[in-house]
Amino acid sequence: MTSPGTYLSIVRYTLPGFVFGSVIHELSHAAIALRSGDPMPRRAGRMTLDPRRNVDPFGSLALLVAGVGWGRPVPLDPLYLRDGRQRAAVAAAGPLAHLVVAAIFAVALRVELLGSGLDAGGFDTLAQFTLQGVILGVLLQGFLVNIALFVFNALPLPGLDGYAVVRSLLFGAAPRVFLFVEQYRYVIYALAAVVVLLTPPLTHGGVDPVAAMTVGFASLVFEHLIVPGVNPIFIGLPNVFHLL
């Protein structure tokens, strides 16, 4: 169980990385679509770094509730994106943007650790009161949330970028499969939710798919690429269900 104060602290540390990642995600969609010949993103004013144009209120609320969120979808004109490879490139740009943002946070983390002399191995984000400690906490959480958003958006589920990539490339080879999946998308969503929500309590915390794909993946990348041999203490993502 998480206390309300801890939950709010996690939210404060998470929002900067989420907003930055969401803006770059949607801008990447817009830029690749424009490069592929679709003028709609420019006409809609989406070729901008302005968070007000790229952050989605409901996506932000979802982040606060369940730890995953999304930005405001970029309008596209399918008449300009008739080639499957073009559509796949536009869709793939979103998840890949989160990897780029995570890499930016990783570089900033490395610089901050070298400059501050702080030890990432025993670092507790929620116990920081110095400016350097808070900055390191924001960078750690920004790295985590963008790794998590990469994984989430890359999942091959209807409505997500990962599914859009696969559909754009393979729909012609197996149209019935994709039509079946889309027809029963809500059943798939329900099954995925059941697995995510019930697996941890049924295994007494031994198996947690969300933690493995977010904190686990981020820790693996950190200890192999950012500070070899060091496994930081990630505070996880906002989740109101942890308040219950």
Q: Quote the distance between the C-alpha of residue 55 and its chain's center.
A: 13
Over its C-alpha atoms, the chain yields an Rg (Å, rounded) of 19
**Hey, what amino acid is at 192?**
A
pLDDT tens readout for residues 18-35 = 999 999 999 999 999 999
Residue type, 209: P
Which residues sit opposite 71 in a β-bridge?
A: 55
pTM: 0.93
- Owner of token pair 């559909």: 167
pLDDT tens digit at each of 244 positions of the chain? 678 889 999 999 999 999 999 999 999 999 999 999 999 999 999 999 999 999 999 999 998 888 888 999 999 999 999 999 999 999 999 999 999 999 999 999 999 998 888 888 888 888 888 899 999 999 999 999 999 999 999 999 999 999 999 999 999 999 999 999 999 999 999 999 888 878 888 888 788 888 888 999 999 999 998 888 888 889 888 888 777 7
